[in-house]
Amino acid sequence: MSTESNISPTSANKITMFHFLSFWIGQLFSVFGSSVVFFSVLWYFTDITKEFPNQGTIFTSVSALVTIPWTIVLFFSGVFIDRWNRKKIILVSDAVQAFMTIVLVVLFMFGFDFWPVNLWIVTAIFMIRQTAQGFHQPSIQAIIPLMIPKDKISRFNGLNTFVSSTIQIAGPIFSGFLIGLGLSFTQILWIDVITFCIALIPTIFIKIPPHKIESLENSKEKSSYFQEFKEGFRTIMDIRGMPALFLVIIVLNFITQPFNALQPIYFQQIIGSEFYTPLAINGIFFQVAVFIGAGLMMLRKKWKKKSLLIIGTQFLGIGAWYLVSLAGFGFPIYFIYIASSMVGLYASIYNTTYQTIFHETIPADKLGRVFSVDYAISFFLGPIATLISGPLSDWLGLENLYLGIAIFATIFLTVVVIFSDYRYVGVDTPEPLSDKKLERKQMLETPESL
């Protein structure tokens, strides 16, 4: 058994929060680099497949392949995140992603940028990057309650969304600007490497409080991976309304894949070959809305009726899908910009509320497996949906597909809200104690010395 003690979320203090904020600022540089590169990847894939009549099928097949490793890894990464040193996991996963970007740059420099080799090289590289992301994302979520005081977690989640959205507004703009200047895809990739090096410095020096780590070799009561995975699953399911929420998440994530995977093609069909500027503008509308939504979440220290925030914003997101489909039927392109703003509000308010429920209710030593279970269950059908969406878009047309999805989602979510306990999700989340209240509570619970 490790000698490290179990540090509860209430052990977080100003010092640990300072360390985390230093680390977080470094990660924001990495977020910017990833945002720039992600937009350039969308442009690159769309550009090299534009001459094919089955472009939708090719595009979504690649998108599904890139997502599959991430989805698979999420099913077991959480168990290891709770067993291993979380700082080392973050460092290694970051390093793997940067290294694979360098590999891609080198391969293209040596002349591998030709069809169809370039398509499969980029796909393979980003499959490995996504595998590392399967460890990286849950690890960061797992250390937040160890380092941020519990009564500040909700506001930090809002601040994180607020600042990240600001940075991601600049990402597509900067990427589109570089593309307009004539920079190649390979040259833009270097931004990801540079921002990784900036993020690496605070990550090396960050001090993460230890959590309870169960040694696989020395534990007398060894638990199998499946037992620990089930424990994480049961922990989530014990939260009132969470089973219904997960059903909604699985279905909505499944049916929204065409909106995510085929967005560049949709813009290309509506606008033409010069689609990347409107696509970047659309991303700006989305991120500005995320910025506004996160700001609203920061205004209040505690949001009691979390269920209303979650359900209301999901209906807002579904309403946006109707506007997206109308653009394909000849309505102005700004219908999509309005829709992206609606989705941005939904994403920021929903994600902040959802993460806060977990951070306030889940023990720190279980957060790794809980967040990996959360991601895995939420997105395990994503690759399948992406594969299906390509042929469906080629057959039905994107505007018809989008309209049908919006109608189905409206009916489905309405039925779940009426006939399940979904409306109670987050209602039982305990009120975070302030530092003074926590100190008073600990004094009252401590027996007097004899």
* pLDDT tens by residue, 196-212: 888 888 888 887 776 55
> In this predicted structure, what is the pLDDT of residue 445?
46
Mean pLDDT of 244-266: 80
> In this predicted structure, what is the pLDDT of residue 252?
85
Cβ atoms of 130 and 382 within 8 Å: the answer is no
Cβ atoms of 265 and 56 within 8 Å: the answer is yes
> In this predicted structure, what is the pLDDT of residue 216?
43
Percentage of the chain exceeding pLDDT 90? 6
Please name the residue ranges forming H helices in 206-305: 225-237, 242-255, 257-261, 263-271, 276-299
Q: Print burial letters for 370-399: b (CB count within 10 Å at least 16), e (below 16).
A: bbbbbbbbbbbbbbebbbbbbebbbeeebb
Q: Around Cβ 346, how many Cβ atoms within 10 Å? A: 23
Could you tell me which residue, 230 or 144, shows the higher pLDDT? 144
Dihedral angle of Cα 340, 344, 345, 346, to the nearest 10 degrees: 100
Residues 324 and 122: their CA atoms lie apart, in Å, by: 29
> In this predicted structure, what is the pLDDT of residue 255?
84
Q: Find the helix packing angle between 117-147 and 153-180, rounded to 10°.
A: 160
| Segment among 168-172, 287-291, 316-320, 389-393 with least mean pLDDT | 168-172
Name the most confidently modeled range: 50-59, 95-104, 368-377.
Answer: 95-104
User: Is the confidence at residue 28, as pLDDT, over 80?
Assistant: yes
Domains of the chain are 9-206+232-430 (1.20.1250.20)
Residues 245 and 253: their CA atoms lie apart, in Å, by: 12
User: Is the confidence at residue 410, as pLDDT, over 90?
Assistant: yes
Q: Considering all CA atoms of the chain, what is the largest pairwise distance in Å, rounded to the nearest integer?
A: 84
Q: Find the helix packing angle between 14-48 and 153-180, rounded to 10°.
A: 30
> In this predicted structure, what is the pLDDT of residue 6?
38
Residues 127 and 121: their CA atoms lie apart, in Å, by: 10
Looking at residue 420, the DSSP 8-state letter turns out to be S
Cβ atoms of 17 and 147 within 8 Å: the answer is yes
Mean pLDDT of 378-400: 77
User: Is the confidence at residue 421, as pLDDT, over 80?
Assistant: yes
Cβ atoms of 294 and 157 within 8 Å: the answer is no
Of 294, 282, 295, 410, nearest to 341 (Cα)? 282
> In this predicted structure, what is the pLDDT of residue 233?
76
> In this predicted structure, what is the pLDDT of residue 2?
34
> In this predicted structure, what is the pLDDT of residue 103?
92
User: Is the confidence at residue 223, as pLDDT, over 60?
Assistant: no
User: Is the confidence at residue 342, as pLDDT, over 60?
Assistant: yes
Mean pLDDT of 366-380: 69
Percentage of the chain exceeding pLDDT 70? 80
Could you tell me which residue, 343 or 65, shows the higher pLDDT? 343
* pLDDT tens by residue, 127-184: 898 888 888 877 887 788 788 887 777 778 777 777 776 776 677 778 877 877 888 8
Contacts of 239 (CB under 8 A, 6+ apart): 357, 361, 425, 428
User: Is the confidence at residue 427, as pLDDT, over 50?
Assistant: yes
User: Is the confidence at residue 433, as pLDDT, over 60?
Assistant: no
Residue 445 backbone dihedrals phi, psi, to 5 degrees: -85, -15
Could you tell me which residue, 48 or 441, shows the higher pLDDT? 48
Residues 307 and 312: their CA atoms lie apart, in Å, by: 8
Looking at residue 366, the DSSP 8-state letter turns out to be G
Structure tokens at 119: 């398509």
Cβ atoms of 406 and 278 within 8 Å: the answer is no
pLDDT band at 55 (very low <50, low <70, confident <90, very high): low
Please give the mean pLDDT across all residues of the chain: 76
pLDDT band at 439 (very low <50, low <70, confident <90, very high): low
User: Is the confidence at residue 432, as pLDDT, over 50?
Assistant: no
**Model-level pTM?**
0.61
User: Is the confidence at residue 218, as pLDDT, over 50?
Assistant: no
User: Is the confidence at residue 447, as pLDDT, over 70?
Assistant: no
Residues 129 and 98: their CA atoms lie apart, in Å, by: 8
Angle at 415 between CA 412 and CA 417, to 5 degrees: 110
pLDDT band at 415 (very low <50, low <70, confident <90, very high): very high
Mean pLDDT of 395-420: 90
User: Is the confidence at residue 277, as pLDDT, over 80?
Assistant: no
User: Is the confidence at residue 390, as pLDDT, over 70?
Assistant: yes
